[in-house]
Structure 1
Amino acid sequence: MTRKSFSRALWAALFAAALTGPAVADIKDYAFELVQREAKVGEAVLSVRLVDRRTGKPVTDAVIFAKRIDMAPDSMEEMVSKIEQVPSTEPGVYRFRAKLSMAGGWRLSLGAKVQGETGTVENKLVFQAVK
């Protein structure tokens, strides 16, 4: 290969790489998962993990801006409880304190922004409160 043809091949490869660009994640590549599927009635701390589905790795720098907890799984969506985010020591795990007033099915709804991504991660997670 001559120097001139090598140069052309290199420029062609660089041009092709520029057109395709780096792989871009879709906001659907991220999801919250419950750490435990049950919690005790009363004051409970709920833990969820935010993961990148492509790699299975935890996402540590998300900003959670929406949170709600209700009893929609038991057809009591109007039965809500206060919920607050509390610190976590485990990377990619987000913790919330809520008062679970009765046993049954509860739904934790979360909305978050992942740093560097466009869009919002939204999940509704169902768990059981037990006595």
Structure 2
Amino acid sequence: MTLAASQFALAGPQDYQFQVVEPQFHQGESVTLTVAITDLRTNTAVAGATIIAVQIDMSPDGMANMRPIVMPIKTNTPGRYGFVTKLGMAGNWRLALAARLPGEGDVVWREVIIRVSP
């Protein structure tokens, strides 16, 4: 049996975008962050992802040790994943996420920079 070129294109980690819905925030004790995960091949939201790791820190401003706790929260929109954290200082923050996406064998890692104002 001879197989022609595969008709099924396997997705790779580069085929997904993680984007903070609102990239500008104000500092506060309980700030909600929402991340949208999009399949760039189809421009559709990725529902059913499992976030296996999340961390936020101020490493873009040279303060990687500033790492508040991040708690996941439920969202009602498919493809959007919510988190609550303390953003106690104005500046640039790095949100790092690792997710298992439906149909993907590899964990997809992304970092998103957000700006926090006083």
TM-score, normalized by length of structure 1? 0.83
- Residues 3-34 of structure 1: CA deviation (Å, up to 9, x unaligned): xxxxxxxxx9xx545x6242221122112111
- Residues 75-130 of structure 1: CA deviation (Å, up to 9, x unaligned): 10111111011000111111100001111111100000012111111111001111
| Moved segments of 4+, more than 4 Å | none
* Structure 2: unaligned runs, 5 residues or longer: none
Letter in structure 1 aligned against 2:10: V
Where does residue 24 of structure 2 map in the other structure?
Answer: 38
Larger radius of gyration: 1
Distance 1:62 1:111 in 2: 10
1:28 aligned counterpart, secondary structure: helix
Aligned residues: 117
Are 1:84 and 2:71 an aligned pair? yes
Distance 1:46 1:98 in 2: 8
Distance 2:78 2:6 in 1: 32
1:78 aligned counterpart, secondary structure: coil
Q: Identify the match of residue 72 of structure 1 among 44, 54, 59.
A: 59
Distance 2:6 2:109 in 1: 29
TM-superposed CA distance for 1:40, in Å, is: 1.6
TM-score, normalized by length of structure 2? 0.92
Between structures 1 and 2, the one with greater helix share: 1
